[in-house]
Amino acid sequence: MRKKQKTTPPPPHSTNAEESDLFDGLPDDLVVFILCKVSSSASSPSDLISILFTCKRLNRLGVHPLVLSKASPKALAIRAKNWSESAHRFLRLCVNSGNIEASYTLGMIRFYCLQNRGSGASLMAKAAIKTHAPALYSLAVIQFNGSGGSKNDKNLKAGVALCARAAYLGHVDALRELGHCLQDGYGVRQNVAEGRRLLVQANTRELASVLRARSVSPDPGLNGSGCGLLSDFGCDVTEPETHPVNTFLKEWFGSGCDGSGLRMCSHVGCGRPETRPHEFRRCSVCGAVNYCSRGCQALDWKLRHKIECMPMERWLEENNGGDNGGVGGGDGGGGEEEGELN
Ligand SMILES: [Zn+2]
Ligand SMILES: [Zn+2]
């Protein structure tokens, strides 16, 4: 910062007084344009929120629909401990500005955390219509499980259709889920070869994203020796990146659903809770872990559960579901669903 005499034109870096003059002289649309850049590249909600506290003008222009519509996923990544009515209002403003990511994020929060299933699902649908792959996939999980309803509300065909759309857009979890559905003939006619092809594709994408992460930082400190390739075929896996809203769910529910007897998906990157008792699939070998989807089950098996899965004690204690015991360990597909299979 250098002091300049009044007569010279304002330099790029000037004193406070001159800065505010210069700022006041900027037309609104230029300020909005700059704020759009800030919101689209923000790495946390505070990057955007702190601007609103700077001055009255930025407070007004910072919530301009154009600025909010461009807010990046990280700008919307509110922490569960910071959830408040004003955080809710902020997301709602972003949704109303046409921010698809905000529709998905608020949809998930309303559906699972606030248990406002109707408006949550319709916000997710709003994002899904605009080809938001995670929203398509999350709606697929809801259809597969009949989440928010009874088990008679499961719609496997709808689940597969939503999954297929998300997979077509390159969503790795959806590709993995669809691969397992095809292999198992779950909600779709069995086609083992096609299922395997999709699993290979999921793994290829997984590897590509790991390599991309490594090219950004040579030692991302992810999982030590982990190689991202072929997680569905028994190789080491590097933990995939978690979507901010999954982190939100995990933080919100902590380790369980506050004594309601409802369980969390045991895959650490998921955070989805059950919406009714026994909604999730359970590992048939140990019975100690539960999953919202085949994809979560397969991935968690490779990431950690194959080391932890202890069949014997549980078998002796419970001895229910012995008809398909042993299935879980071998193929990483893990256990069967409680109560019913299809
Ligand atoms: Zn899950
Ligand atoms: Zn197990």
Q: Who has greater pLDDT, 9 or 337? A: 9
- How many domains does the chain divide into? 3
Is the pLDDT at 341 greater than 90, yes or no?
Answer: no
Highest mean pLDDT among 106-115, 249-258, 294-303: 106-115
User: What is the arithmetic mean of pLDDT over 270-298?
Assistant: 92
**Of the candidates 241, 267, 296, which is a domain's last residue?**
241
Which residues, at least 6 apart from 60, have a Cβ–Cβ distance to it below 8 Å? none
What is the per-residue pLDDT for 15? Answer: 53
Question: Could you say which ligand is closest to the alpha carbon of residue 286?
Answer: 2
Q: Is residue 168 part of a domain?
A: yes
**By C-alpha distance, which of 337, 263, 274, 281 is closest to 111?**
274
- Regarding whether 319 and 257 lie in a shared domain, the answer is yes
- Regarding whether 225 and 258 lie in a shared domain, the answer is no
Domain that holds residue 138: 131-241
Question: Could you say which ligand is closest to the alpha carbon of residue 306?
Answer: 2
**Of the candidates 241, 269, 293, which is a domain's last residue?**
241
> What is the distance, to the nearest Å, from the Cα of residue 151 to the centroid of all Cα atoms in its chain?
24
How far is ligand 2, taken at its centre, from the CA of residue 101, in Å?
34
- Regarding whether 236 and 274 lie in a shared domain, the answer is no
How far is ligand 1, taken at its centre, from the CA of residue 111, in Å?
15
Q: Is residue 14 part of a domain?
A: no
The CATH code of the domain that includes 222 is 1.25.40.10
> What is the band of 325 on the pLDDT scale with cuts at 50, 70, 90?
very low
How far is ligand 1, taken at its centre, from the CA of residue 9, in Å?
60
Per-residue pLDDT reduced to its tens digit, 179-216:
999 999 999 999 999 999 999 999 888 888 777 776 76
Cβ 180 vs Cβ 295: under 8 Å: yes
Cβ 193 vs Cβ 185: under 8 Å: no
Q: Locate tokens 């902020």: which residue?
A: 90
The answer to pTM > 0.85 is no
What is the per-residue pLDDT for 11? Answer: 52
Which residues, at least 6 apart from 99, have a Cβ–Cβ distance to it below 8 Å? 68, 69, 70, 71, 76
